[in-house]
Amino acid sequence: MQQKKSKQTPAEFLYSCYTLSILMLVYIVNFIDRQILAILNEEIKGDLGLTDAEMGFLYGTAFAVFYALFCIPLGRLADVWVRRTLVAYACAFWSLATALSGFARNFFELGTARIAVGIGEAATGPCAYSLLSDSFLPARRATVIAILTSGIFVGAGLGMFIGGQVVQRWNDAFPAGTAPFDFAGWQIAFFVIGLPGLLLAIWVRTLKEPPRGEMDGITSKPEPHPFREFGAELYAVLPGLSVINLYQRGADRKVLAANLLVMTGFVLAAWLLIKTLGNPAQWVALAIGFYATISWAQGLALRDRPTATLILKSRAWTLFVLGTSMLAFSTYGLAYFTAPFFIRYHAVPISELGFTLGGITAAFGFLGVTTGGFLADYWRARHPCGRLYVAVGAALVPIPVGLWMLYTDSTTFAFALNAVVAFTSAAWFGVGGSTVTDLVLPRMRGSATAVYILALTLLGQALGPFTVGLVSDLTGDLRNGLFVAICANLGAATLIVLAARYLEEDERSLRDRARRAGEPYM
């Protein structure tokens, strides 16, 4: 055990800030590629003849399930390999997949491209959270993670602005039937935003790799076979192979029987939902995602008991992640369908909407996430649960404001209310990343972040936008779907308050619980 680092030299701090700025740029490009689908929704929907639920699937589930599945093995690779290299390769892959989305001519092709984007982006969060946790002192982590995740909102805003401008200019330049190769404006938008990411990948590769665990005074032994570890994690989440993986790792009959029972339950649930609500791609994808997650959790308990104990058996960690997942359900549902809302109910032109809504998302999202991170660290210094109280406030404020936004007749006032929603909906992001990494050991941060992102993705992004779209299709009113998303914040606030009851004790007992679980590096 080495001594915990208490300060950085000016040169070290400046380079840490440089690393943060590059990773923030990666997040910006990441979310430009991800969020541009929102401003293109009406164009793609009309061109390909899709429903709101199908568009919610393309934005949410098609991306989210495969993002979540690959986040686990790539999170493990982030714990044992060179993180800067992994981020660089991932950035190149998802950027190319985004550009290829422009060639899509139907639902299947666009869905395939979105799956590829999800796989590529799965490495970003675990690597970035882990890199920054080893680059800055613990007292600064919520602020640092908040600055990093502000790239989400800057990228989302830029994606809407760029998408709106490209579509409007392309459609003005080439009326129907006159465009080169019959490309639509939304297809050109994918080309424009996808290709620059390849240059960013080269830049990321030049970053220095910080010593793992130095800031916390905990040394992690290097892994001699990182890709063997990655392969084992991938093997553990792939449906079909996961049962074989459990058997090879010595799972007893109860574990194997539980796995098969869970698989059967998800198959039946998917079949019933398809019969009742249609949209087979949604329910099959979700069944695969949830089954793979449970299989992986069973395997983790067999191969790395300390990590499984600290991640899955902490009441504070579990309740907090469930609460933030409900916040993600609301945030992603609103983030995707707010642009279609303004087009349908306020008749805002796409180029004007991209400028106005994109500017609101970027500016107020950035302010919200950075302010929330600063307040979280400030309050945390004065109370152990201070960060979580910021998340509770961020959950409750958007409820009355968001509902008012849905039903006001004034377009200007609706945009003003959206600014408040954007600000508060962003304030919890820094709280999330710092809390889940503080509750595990340094060597586990990539895996813990992967599980956290997995939960936000499966419960939030995979369900939020689709649910909003499905309710819109069933009722014929998009506002009803957005109403459901906003009200999910009540459940989120309740779960985070419950998590606060156990946080102090779980943090105090962290090392003892790891030691009792067999942690070899304590």
**Interval 59-116: pLDDT, tens:** 889 888 888 888 878 888 888 888 899 999 999 999 999 999 999 888 889 999 999 9
Out of 181-190, 261-270, 429-438, pick the least confident. 429-438
Query: What integer is the mean pLDDT of 120-138?
Result: 84
Q: Which pLDDT does position 220 carry in this prediction? A: 66
Query: What integer is the mean pLDDT of 144-156?
Result: 82
DSSP codes joined into one string, 112-181: HHHHHHHHHHTTHHHHHHHHHHTTS-GGGHHHHHHHHHHHHHHHHHHHHHHHHHHHHHHHHHS-TT-SGG
Query: What integer is the mean pLDDT of 126-136?
Result: 84
**pLDDT tens-digit map of 325-379:** 999 999 999 989 999 999 999 999 988 998 999 899 889 988 888 888 888 888 8
**pLDDT tens-digit map of 192-207:** 998 888 999 999 999 9
Q: Which pLDDT does position 297 carry in this prediction? A: 83
Query: What integer is the mean pLDDT of 37-48?
Result: 89
DSSP codes joined into one string, 294-330: HHHHHHHHHH-HHHHHHHHS-HHHHHHHHHHHHHHHH
Q: Which pLDDT does position 1 carry in this prediction? A: 47
Out of 5-19, 81-95, 119-133, pick the least confident. 5-19
Which sequence spans correspond to the domains of the chain? 10-209+304-516, 226-303
Q: Which pLDDT does position 407 carry in this prediction? A: 95
Query: What integer is the mean pLDDT of 31-56?
Result: 89
Tokens of 154: 């800057």
The chain-wide mean pLDDT, for the chain, equals 87
**pLDDT tens-digit map of 468-510:** 999 999 999 999 999 999 999 999 999 999 999 998 888 888 8
Portion of the chain with pLDDT greater than 70, in percent: 96
**pLDDT tens-digit map of 47-58:** 899 999 999 999
DSSP 4: P
Pick the CATH number of 10-209+304-516 from 3.40.1280.30, 3.30.720.120, 1.20.1250.20, 3.40.50.720: 1.20.1250.20
Q: Which pLDDT does position 521 carry in this prediction? A: 59
Q: Which pLDDT does position 127 carry in this prediction? A: 87
* pLDDT at residue 4 greater than cutoff 70: no
DSSP codes joined into one string, 359-381: HHHHHHHHHHHHHHHHHHHHHHT
Are 308 and 249 in contact, with CB atoms under 8 Å apart?
A: no
Portion of the chain with pLDDT greater than 90, in percent: 40
Q: Which pLDDT does position 433 carry in this prediction? A: 73
* pLDDT at residue 37 greater than cutoff 80: yes
Higher-pLDDT residue of 441 and 402 is 402
Please count the other Cβ atoms lying within 10 Å of the Cβ belonging to residue 129.
31
